[in-house]
């Protein structure tokens, strides 16, 4: 006799590594169809990130943005890392390079454009100002340098010239 479909164990979350897999061990990620089907995936991902940022404010502080901001960066890092892990995007941490913040994702299985847009959206909704992310590959990790739009233009220009992450940080910090 054949068994009916059993949903238990169909999806497996590995929060430590931020991976989501099917029962057949294929890696999966969560991305809404609106983002996947958009002509401009980065803009669609930014809008999705903004909604996620607003939901973070609602869930964690009852809608009180100032109360959330008073929690400090550690609270935000924990929340962002959890969201990225649950989406199956990998494990995340935040690095501080002087005044600059960098989101680092290990084992990112998707387009940098989608990840940039999502991170920008979350940061914009929490910070209340325009944020741009510039991505840099470094082996198994991707760094997302969070900048204001003017600084992001400088970083993108330097990146197109072949400058690496550290060189661009030197330019941005005036070293």
Residue (of 41, 45, 130, 26) closest to 84 by Cα position: 45
What is the rounded CA–CA span in Å between residue 115 and residue 97?
20
Q: Which residues contact 146 (CB under 8 A, 6 or more apart)?
A: 100, 101, 102, 103, 119, 123, 131, 132, 133
Range of the domain at 121: 11-149
Tell me the pLDDT of the chain (175 aa) as tens digits. Answer: 788 888 888 889 888 899 999 988 999 999 989 888 989 998 999 899 888 877 877 777 777 777 777 777 777 778 888 889 989 999 999 998 888 899 999 999 988 989 999 998 888 877 778 999 999 998 899 999 999 999 999 999 999 999 999 999 999 998 6
Predicted pLDDT of residue 2: 82
CATH of the domain at 135: 3.30.1380
Structural tokens at position 137: 């590959």
Does any domain span residue 71?
yes
Whether 161 is in a domain gets the answer no
Give the pair of three-digit tokens for residue 114: 């989608």
Please name every residue paired with 92 in a beta bridge, in sequence order, or none if there are none: 105
* pTM for the model: 0.85
Q: What is the pLDDT of residue 175?
A: 67
- Buried/exposed code over 104-128 (b: 16+ C-beta within 10 A; e: otherwise): bbbebebebbbbbbbbbbbbbbbee
How many domains is the chain built from? Answer: 1
């Amino acid at each position: 006799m054949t068994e009916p479909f059993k949903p238990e164990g169909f999806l497996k979350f590995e929060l430590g590594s931020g991976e989501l897999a099917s029962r057949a061990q294929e890696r999966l990620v969560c991305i809404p169809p609106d983002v996947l089907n958009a002509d401009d995936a980065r803009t669609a991902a930014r809008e999705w990130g903004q909604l996620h940022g607003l939901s973070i404010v609602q869930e964690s502080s009852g809608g009180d943005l100032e109360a959330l901001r008073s929690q400090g960066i550690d609270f935000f890092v924990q929340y962002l890392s959890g969201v990225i892990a649950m989406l199956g995007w990998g494990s995340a941490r935040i690095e501080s390079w002087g005044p600059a913040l960098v989101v680092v994702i290990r084992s990112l299985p998707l387009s940098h454009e989608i990840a940039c847009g999502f991170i920008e959206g979350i940061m914009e909704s929490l910070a209340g100002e325009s944020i741009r992310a510039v991505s840099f590959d470094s082996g198994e990790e991707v760094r997302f340098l969070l900048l204001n739009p003017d600084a992001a233009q400088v970083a993108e220009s330097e990146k197109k010239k072949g400058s690496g992450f550290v060189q661009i940080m030197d330019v941005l910090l005036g070293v």
